[in-house]
Amino acid sequence: MTIEELDQIAASVRTEREQYDHEINVCLGTGCLSQHSDRVKEALAQAVEASGKKVYVRRTGCMGLCAAGPLVLVDPESTLYQHVHASHAETIAASLGGAPVAELQCDLRDHFDQQVHVVLENSGRIDPERVEDYIANDGYRALLTALNDMTPQGVIRQITESGLRGRGGGGYPTGLKWGTVAKAKGDVKYVICNGDEGDPGAFMDRSVLESDPHRVLEGMAIAAYAVGASKGYIYVRAEYPLAVSRLTACLRDARRHGLLGNGIGNTPFNFDVEIRLGAGAFVCGEETALIASIEGRRGTPKPRPPYPAVSGLWGKPTLINNVETLANIAPIIRKGGRWFAGMGSERSKGTKVFALTGKIANTGLVEVPMGIKLREIIEGIGGGVPGGHKFKAVQTGGPSGGCLPESMLDIGVSYDALLSVGSIMGSGGMIVMDDTSCMVNVARFFIEFCMTESCGKCIPCRAGTAQMFTLLTRICTGKGTMDDLALLEDLCSTVKEASLCGLGQTAPNPVLSTLKYFRHEYIEHIEHKRCPAGVCQMEAAEEVHA
């Protein structure tokens, strides 16, 4: 495969498209599929055929606005329909060429206009399983450019210049990581794509893998070229069956087109990718645990150093990047590191995908430039808290993150800003809570999550999270004392400072941040045996054997 051949494929896709007067894109992401968007697509295909109009009905990945699914986008008019049912197919087909179907129309210009799509540029626009669609949207151009016109060092230079930082949550500079692996000595090197997304309320990586899998494969191949790896693994949760099946199909297509395998792009570069399924252990998102899991061992983390960059998979230098990080690579190579660095804030460049969930009108996936205010995401793009309720807190970064109150909504979203107020960027989960949420109960929920997901290797995390859960349960059931609260805070510091890996080190964050911003709710539970949000059931203190 050469760039010219890519051009030919792109041209033939365009010619093919020109035959049609309209294109109907139907979201077949997990969210819309759960509302039977597959039936919608089938019905639309039948309806347009019956109508005799020249229309192409395309399966696409996620369009972002999951709350309004199933979503259907009609081009070239860019008409977005929401909550489409199979029974609407004929009406939609009939409207083509005329006025849109008003009652189905989704009019959320603000929601989309404030977003900047880099990672999601193809999501909801291409058929994820058609490599030709991806190629027609500049797909694999970056890989072939890198292989033919750039040195590995040149690639790393672009990534470094872009200022891209790890999107899995750590925020480690990607260029620096690549440089370390490139410099590491080893006969064999590996590239691993971390798709073990496990935060409650997070579905960024799943969506990218479902909607634009080739983008991730291209990113991996470029990374492999840059660091000198010849083998890659995608570690993805078995709970993401759609992502796995699409990835499997795309791997086959990429190999068939000579975009993976031996002699990629008619150069001496060899690279192939294997999928490894995770069994759903949250801790396997931690890189050393993930490596252990790929090796077929129990998924437990190891102390670092040595870092995987030096001694990773099977003791070889290994580059591990998150799905979203890798999804940023192709556009950076295509448009240059400087272009990417032009977006975002001082120390957090580019864009970030967030999964908006909880008490928010526009549940779904959004991509925004770094530095944007939390308020703009929640009240603007997200449409605010529905049902006349009052905003109370936003939880960012999943179980490792914190809960931020209304007064913090004007901070810009960046790694450092979120860290400074007691939360983290994390992988991009954003759970909005209103006045019906009890913050003590929320902290208890996240600690319970960490307790059940702790691998059990180190004592502070294994036993510490369990004790924190016990103490929080006491408080939530009206049995807690101020001594329990002091003990809880004491445990937070030991679990945070003494745990072996990131899971334990960040597990107390939801407790610490709710204690910082919502301490009065804890006090209310303890001193007045009352849950201000009316969530917690207070029990009688007696524990007598009947």
Smallest gap from residue 457 Cβ to another protein (A): 5
Q: Which stretch binds another protein (CB under 8 A): 66-74, 211-219, 222-230, 463-471?
A: 463-471
- Crossing angle, helix 241-256 and helix 213-227, to 10 degrees? 60
Q: Using CB under 8 A, which of 188, 409, 459, 523 touches another protein?
A: 459
456 contacts 528 by C-beta, under 8 angstroms: no
Sign of CA dihedral 262, 264, 269, 271: negative
Smallest gap from residue 271 Cβ to another protein (A): 33
The verdict on 453 binding another protein (CB under 8 A) reads: yes
Smallest gap from residue 105 Cβ to another protein (A): 49
Which residues share a beta bridge with 434? 391
36 vs 462, beta carbon nearer another protein: 462
Q: What are phi and psi of 307, to 5 degrees?
A: -80, 150
Q: Using CB under 8 A, which of 467, 489, 524, 529 touches another protein?
A: 467
Closest alpha carbon to 363 in 377, 346, 350, 347: 377
72 vs 458, beta carbon nearer another protein: 458
Give, as ranges, the residues between 526 and 545 that touch another protein (CB under 8 A).
543-545
418 contacts 377 by C-beta, under 8 angstroms: no
265 vs 278, beta carbon nearer another protein: 278
The verdict on 465 binding another protein (CB under 8 A) reads: yes
Smallest gap from residue 214 Cβ to another protein (A): 35
The verdict on 419 binding another protein (CB under 8 A) reads: no
Give, as ranges, the residues between 292 and 311 that touch another protein (CB under 8 A).
298, 302-303, 305
Angle at 209 between CA 205 and CA 215, to 5 degrees: 110
The verdict on 184 binding another protein (CB under 8 A) reads: no
Query: What's the Rg (C-alpha) of the chain?
Result: 24
126 contacts 137 by C-beta, under 8 angstroms: yes
Q: Using CB under 8 A, which of 94, 277, 341, 463 touches another protein?
A: 463
Q: What are phi and psi of 453, to 5 degrees?
A: -95, -10
Both structure tokens of 16: 């093919």
347 vs 462, beta carbon nearer another protein: 462
Integer Cα distance of 391 and 480 in angstroms: 27
Smallest gap from residue 196 Cβ to another protein (A): 15
Both structure tokens of 106: 């989704």
Angle at 37 between CA 68 and CA 62, to 5 degrees: 60
Give, as ranges, the residues between 273 and 292 that touch another protein (CB under 8 A).
281, 283
Task: Quote the DSSP letter at residue 53.
Answer: -
Residue 83 CA, chain-centre distance (Å), reads: 24
Give, as ranges, the residues between 475 and 504 that touch another protein (CB under 8 A).
487, 490-491, 493-494, 497-500
Q: Using CB under 8 A, which of 39, 373, 462, 529 touches another protein?
A: 462
383 vs 464, beta carbon nearer another protein: 464
Both structure tokens of 238: 């078995």
Closest alpha carbon to 310 in 440, 180, 423: 180
Helix (H) or strand (E) run with residue 358 in it: strand 351-358
Give, as ranges, the residues between 433 and 452 that touch another protein (CB under 8 A).
451-452
Q: Using CB under 8 A, which of 464, 478, 502, 510 touches another protein?
A: 464
Give, as ranges, the residues between 107 and 166 that touch another protein (CB under 8 A).
none
| End-to-end Cα, the chain, rounded Å | 78
Q: Does residue 128 have a cis bond before it (omega within 30 degrees)?
A: no
Q: What are phi and psi of 130, to 5 degrees?
A: -105, 110
Smallest gap from residue 420 Cβ to another protein (A): 15
Sign of CA dihedral 487, 198, 428, 113: negative
Smallest gap from residue 303 Cβ to another protein (A): 4
Smallest gap from residue 517 Cβ to another protein (A): 23
24 vs 451, beta carbon nearer another protein: 451
218 vs 453, beta carbon nearer another protein: 453
The verdict on 455 binding another protein (CB under 8 A) reads: yes
Integer Cα distance of 474 and 536 in angstroms: 11
Where do the H-state alpha helices sit in 414-481?
A: 415-420, 439-453, 459-476
Q: Which stretch binds another protein (CB under 8 A): 164-172, 188-196, 417-425, 458-466?
A: 458-466
Q: How many residues bind another protein (CB under 8 A)?
A: 36
145 vs 473, beta carbon nearer another protein: 473
Binding site for another protein (CB under 8 A): 281, 283, 298, 302-303, 305, 451-460, 462-467, 470-471, 487, 490-491, 493-494, 497-500, 543-545
